[in-house]
Structure 1
Amino acid sequence: MGHVVKIVSEQTINKMKEFYQSSLKQTPPHALFSAKVNQTTITAYKSGKVLFQGVNSEQEASRWDGKEATKKNSNSVAAQSHHYSPSPSLFTQSIIGSDEAGTGDYFGPITVVAAYVRSDQIELLRELGVRDSKNLTDQSIEKIAQDILLCEIPYSSMVLPNPKYNQLQARGWTQGKMKTMMHDAVINSLLKKISPTKPDGILIDQFSEPGVYINHLKKVNKQLPESTYFITKAESHSIAVATASILARARFVQEMDRLSKNVGFTLPKGASAKVDQAASYIIRDKGEAFLQNIAKVHFANTNKATAYLK
């Protein structure tokens, strides 16, 4: 099913609403109006974006040619460097996006989320503020995550607690292997959840070469799901991945809040000198073994924290 997005003025939106008056339908959240004509749904948003979706989307959108230019994607995709690089057209289709949070943070777990976003939900999610979570504050992420859940976006999530993380790392698992298994688990869980619907593709925010990811799966007799693609900074290209990124970060923030209550003060995020100081305080107060419960102890922060105590 094709779709076209136009950016128009408030005056044009008012003209469109008047034109489609007899075909108006229930207005989705954050939209100005929605109508259905000629096997095409037209939805106008407060930002000035108008989404035409359906069999005759291009024909219906052409009705408004000359008003304002059709929106073009300003995010260029890097030259395809491997067989699993996605076509830019994938970013506007109904796909599963998968991303993680917490991998570079000393304190806290790793969280991974896969989310299924239909093509007709992309503009709504943009209206809600869904974009690269790295450009959002934790407060904004929590608010947007709540709005995402109200849209009933299907998703699957997984948390790797610090004790289990440290056990796997001690057994020789790399963080890349851990993330591979987590992404595979949430993607397959979500595929079952949305069945019999099949996504147009699966896009993973690339954290390793696809061959390395696939080899991790092969070692446990697993295969890459059909139509899976990888690209770095995927959340800046795909709303589905950006949605997964926000949900993963929101879950990570929740877990950090829980761990902070356990230690009696707010644990800093990241891996900075503030983190070293917080870890040294915990070692002095609760012993170094306690870090196994709340931190990724193989990070250099552990040695730096013990140095503060000498």
Structure 2
Amino acid sequence: MIADDSSTPILIAGVDEVGRGALFGPVVAAAVILSENSMTQLTRAGVKDSKKLTPGVRSRLALEIKAIAIDYKIGWASVREIDRFNILQATLLAMKRAIFKLNPQPELCLIDGNQKIPQLFIPQQTIIKGDSTSLVIAAASIVAKVWRDELITRLSEKYPQYDLKQNKGYGTAKHRQAIQQYGVTSQHRQSFSCCQLSLPLN
């Protein structure tokens, strides 16, 4: 939330995604609206780009963000949607879904990256490396990362051979080797070239 020219605060949502480069699982986005007071508090707490935080710190900060945000919401696009639309369009869809769930609706969205969300109908501004330069985008990056990591950890119990608890669905050497050995699951992105080696397990 910042003031416009008339000193009236406007609601700003930070939006970021996680899982775009993974081989397994949905792409997940978070949208977060913060007040000026909560932004100050979260700056002191150490909120920054989720990739620069340890899992334990991310989990702690995600709880703090969710506790003091004006609102936050998660949106995602399924593996089927990723394979159908491509990963970029699925990512933008996940972001739009997160934004549309917000209550109240923001008056401006700050989007991490350089791609605007089609048919958003809310003013938006893209920021390259926004998770490193915008606190509200960084907060969204943390919320999205923790939510997706928890989801993949739960799915790892169903698919133990892929080392998902460690790789969170990304294409590590162990994960790629498991795909070659066991094939892919219904949660693997079959439009990705390295997931086209074998027929699905289910």
From the superposition, tell whether residues 223 and 95 of structure 1 become closer, same or farther in structure 2 (CA, over 3 Å): closer
State yes or no: 1:229 paired with 2:125: yes
> Residue 274 of structure 1: CA displacement?
2.1
> Residue 147 of structure 1: CA displacement?
2.0
Aligned twin of 1:300:
193
Q: Deviation per CA, 1:225-267: give whole Å up to 9, x if none.
A: 13x1111111111111011110110111011111101113531
Aligned twin of 1:135:
52
Q: Which runs of 4 or more aligned residues in structure 1 lie more than 4 Å from their structure 2 counterparts after TM superposition?
A: none
Question: Where in structure 2 are there 5+ consecutive unaligned residues?
Answer: none
> Residue 224 of structure 1: CA displacement?
3.5
> Residue 94 of structure 1: CA displacement?
5.1
| CA distance in structure 1 between the partners assigned to 2:54 and 2:188 by the alignment | 22
Please say if residues 16 and 140 of structure 2, whose CA atoms lie closer than 8 Å, have aligned partners that are also in contact. Answer: yes
| CA distance in structure 2 between the partners assigned to 1:207 and 1:138 by the alignment | 27
> Residue 281 of structure 1: CA displacement?
3.8
TM-score, normalised to structure 1's length?
A: 0.55
- Choose the corresponding residue for 1:179, options 55, 78, 91: 91
| Code of the aligned partner of 1:253 | D
| CA distance in structure 1 between the partners assigned to 2:79 and 2:37 by the alignment | 38
> Residue 122 of structure 1: CA displacement?
1.1
- Choose the corresponding residue for 1:205, options 104, 112, 127: 112
- Which stretch of structure 1 is more off in the superposition, 229-238 or 156-165? 156-165
Bigger Rg, which one: 1
Please say if residues 30 and 74 of structure 2, whose CA atoms lie closer than 8 Å, have aligned partners that are also in contact. Answer: yes
Aligned twin of 1:259:
155
Question: Where in structure 1 are there 5+ consecutive unaligned residues?
Answer: 4-54, 56-92
Aligned twin of 2:104:
194
| Code of the aligned partner of 1:294 | Q
Please say if residues 2 and 36 of structure 2, whose CA atoms lie closer than 8 Å, have aligned partners that are also in contact. Answer: no
RMSD, aligned CA:
2.5
Query: Which of 1 and 2 has higher RCO (CA within 8 Å, sep 6+)?
Result: 2
Q: Deviation per CA, 1:194-248: give whole Å up to 9, x if none.
A: 15xx54x32001243x4xx4xxx3xxxx35313x111111111111101111011
> Residue 101 of structure 1: CA displacement?
0.3
